[in-house]
Structure 1
Amino acid sequence: MVRTRKERKAATVNEIKLAHPDRSAVPSENTLLKLAQDRDLFEQAEKKQRKNDGNDDEDEDEDEELLPPTVDRAMDAVLWSASLAMLHFTLDVLVQHQYAISIIWPQIIIRAIQAFFGKILLLKRYS
């Protein structure tokens, strides 16, 4: 026996009419970007960001680099290498847990350390 579902009524006063999105080149209704521009939300966000950064009195043209580019690239290489080595360690543990008779932790740790330094050298070469 087939049961049919009853339609649920919306809990809010204003019901939202379901419709397909307008895919024409020029939308017929206001878009979210247009509404944000009308309310100057982008300018307010920029002012708030400048206030949070403490750059209200300084010109935006003055960009101070805190670290030299080589140090910045080296830090990026270490960050990426650490992330990829952690992923390598996790996948290695999962494979060992699934296929090995017993997990040999020193070998897994040695392979993770080798992956870390190998990826650092690889990333520094291409940066």
Structure 2
Amino acid sequence: MNAIRRTATLVGLTLAVIVGSSIPASADFRDAVTTNAALATGTVAAPTNLNVTVQCVGSELHATVSWTRSTSPRISGYAIDATINTDRMSFRAPANASSYTYRIPRLWQSHSIPVAVTVTTDTEYRWTATSPSLHRWVTTC
């Protein structure tokens, strides 16, 4: 009795698959759906108004780079890259900074040297924006 039921079930399922696959699909792909999709591109604002000043304070020379902070949200800090003559230096400043002062002993006699500086905005989401390079001649003391 079980063998007859199994055979009848198998024949029925086989017929259902054969008949079902021969019926055309009734989906209609001509329907249009409209949606309001907006895509925005994010940007990071670079620091502006770079300036370099040099002051002689006691036995030290203070070279200060200042800038107007970025207006972008979630700033994590600033990277300052400077080339003094042919020496390259890199420094980090916190998100709330608008200047960085590098202090060194007064070793040179007064003369002019070329300085190039950029300041890069770093964000928490790892986007960056770098200021245009500032090129100046500064007088040491």
TM-score tier, shorter chain, comes to under 0.3
State the TM-score, normalizing by the size of structure 2: 0.15
State the TM-score, normalizing by the size of structure 1: 0.16
More strand by share: 2
More helix by share: 1
